[in-house]
């Protein structure tokens, strides 16, 4: 088996974090100290700290169908920081959970690593860093530093890959790869979250 325990814990931790992340919670609210139970009627109407501006970091965790990808993004501070930055627009291309679970290899696996290092490559010294690096590349290939993003406009992902989208036969497709966009999950101040039915080819 190619699955390593530490990677499993990485994945399950990501899912746990994604699942436990309350809607629209902002880091600022964590600084308020030990939680007092809020008055029951206040929880429903509470607004994100800072008032009316909702940003990507507020909404990425809202849709459970993409919580694996959302969890991955939280492992990388520069990427999370971007989603929290209201002055930087971003289109997040979030593959749906089932697309990630259905991959022939895990997002942190690179065939080149296995070729060079054999089956145990991620258990060796430096293996965890390798896996993290690969996972980061996977995430960055699904983040576009542009929003709004016009049809046909070629842009670079944060990972450096070239990507555009088009309508074809009534479907919105990410190119290259004909990856269908199933919906736009969120439109907020600093960008949009799109849900993809597949993943981009992130390999080297
Ligand atoms: C960023 O997105 C907003 C929409 O939320 C848009 O009005 C604004 O023009 C965008 N800025 C850039 C630089 O694309």
> What pLDDT, on a 0 to 100 scale, did the predictor assign at position 50?
55
Asked whether residue 39 is assigned to any structural domain, the reply reads no
For atom 4 of ligand 1, the residue with the nearest CA is: 189
Q: 38 lies in a domain?
A: no
Mean pLDDT, the chain, rounded, equals 83
Give the pLDDT confidence score for residue 2 in this predicted structure: 44
How high is the pLDDT of residue 106? 93
Q: What is the DSSP code string of the chain?
A: ----HHHHHHHHHHHHHHHH--TT--HHHHTT-SPPPPPHHHHHH---TTTT---HHHHTTT-GGGHHHHHHHHT-HHHHHHHH-TTS-EEEEEE-HHHHHT-SS-TT--HHHHHHH-TTTTTSTTHHHHHHHHHHHHHHTTEES-SS--TT--EEBTTS-EEEEEEETTEEEEETTTEEEEEEEEEETTEEEEEESS------
Give the residue, 3 or 125, on which the prediction is more confident.
Answer: 125
- Asked whether residue 66 is assigned to any structural domain, the reply reads yes
List all residues whose CB is within 6 A of at least one atom of ligand 1. 89, 147, 189
Range of the domain at 191: 3-30+45-196
**CATH code of the domain covering residue 182:** 2.30.180.10
What residue owns the CA closest to ligand 1's atom 6?
148
Average pLDDT over residues 76-88: 96
Work out the average pLDDT over 92-103: 97
Position in ligand 1 atom list of the atom nearest CA 188: 5
Q: Tell me what pLDDT residue 54 has.
A: 96
Once rounded to an integer, what is the mean pLDDT over residues 130-135?
Answer: 95
Number of compact structural domains in the chain:
1
Question: What tens digit of pLDDT does each residue of 140-154 get?
Answer: 999 999 999 999 999
* Average pLDDT value for residue range 24-45: 44
Q: What is the model's pLDDT at position 73? A: 97
pLDDT computed for residue 203 by the predictor: 61
Expressed in angstroms and rounded, the spacing between residue 89 Cα and the centre of ligand 1 is 6
User: Does 36 reside within a domain?
Assistant: no
Q: Which atom of ligand 1 is nearest to the CA of 146?
A: 14
Establish if 134 belongs to a structural domain.
yes
pLDDT digits (tens, 9 = 90+) for 105-130: 999 999 999 999 999 999 989 999 99
* pLDDT computed for residue 33 by the predictor: 45
In a domain, 203, yes or no: no
Give the CA distances from residue 26 to residues 30, 31, 49, 131, 194, in Å, rounded to whole numbers and listed in that order.
Answer: 7, 10, 6, 29, 21
Dist CA 123 CA 77 (whole Å): 24
Choose the residue to mutate in 88, 148, 189, 193 for probing ligand 1, maximizing ligand atoms within 8 Å of C-beta.
148
Residue 24 lies in a domain: yes
For residue 95, what pLDDT is reported? Answer: 98
CA of 186 to the centre of ligand 1 (A): 15
Of the pLDDT bands very low, low, confident and very high (cuts 50, 70, 90), residue 94 is: very high
Cα of 193 from ligand 1 centre, angstroms? 14
In a domain, 159, yes or no: yes
Q: What percent of the chain has pLDDT over 70?
A: 74
Is residue 73 packed enough to be buried (19+ CB in 10 Å), middle (13-18) or exposed (0-12)? buried
């Amino acid at each position: 088996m190619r699955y390593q325990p530490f990677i499993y814990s990485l994945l399950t931790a990501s899912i746990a974090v994604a699942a436990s992340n309350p809607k629209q919670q902002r880091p600022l609210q964590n600084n308020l100290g030990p939680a007092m139970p809020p008055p029951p009627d206040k929880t429903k109407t509470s607004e994100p700290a800072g008032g009316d501006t909702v940003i990507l970091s507020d909404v990425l965790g809202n849709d459970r169908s993409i919580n694996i990808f959302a969890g991955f993004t939280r492992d990388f501070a520069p990427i999370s920081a971007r989603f929290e930055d209201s002055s930087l627009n971003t289109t997040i291309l979030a593959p749906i959970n089932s697309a990630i679970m259905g991959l022939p290899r895990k997002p942190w696996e690179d065939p080149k690593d296995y070729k060079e290092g054999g089956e145990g490559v991620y258990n060796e010294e430096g293996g965890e860093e390798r896996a993290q690096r690969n996972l980061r590349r996977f995430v960055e290939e699904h983040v576009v530093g542009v929003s709004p993003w016009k049809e046909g406009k070629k842009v670079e992902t944060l990972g450096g890959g070239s990507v555009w989208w088009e309508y074809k036969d009534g479907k919105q497709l990410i190119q290259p790869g004909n990856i269908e966009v199933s919906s736009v999950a969120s439109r907020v101040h600093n960008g949009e979250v799109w849900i993809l039915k597949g993943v981009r080819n992130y390999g080297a």
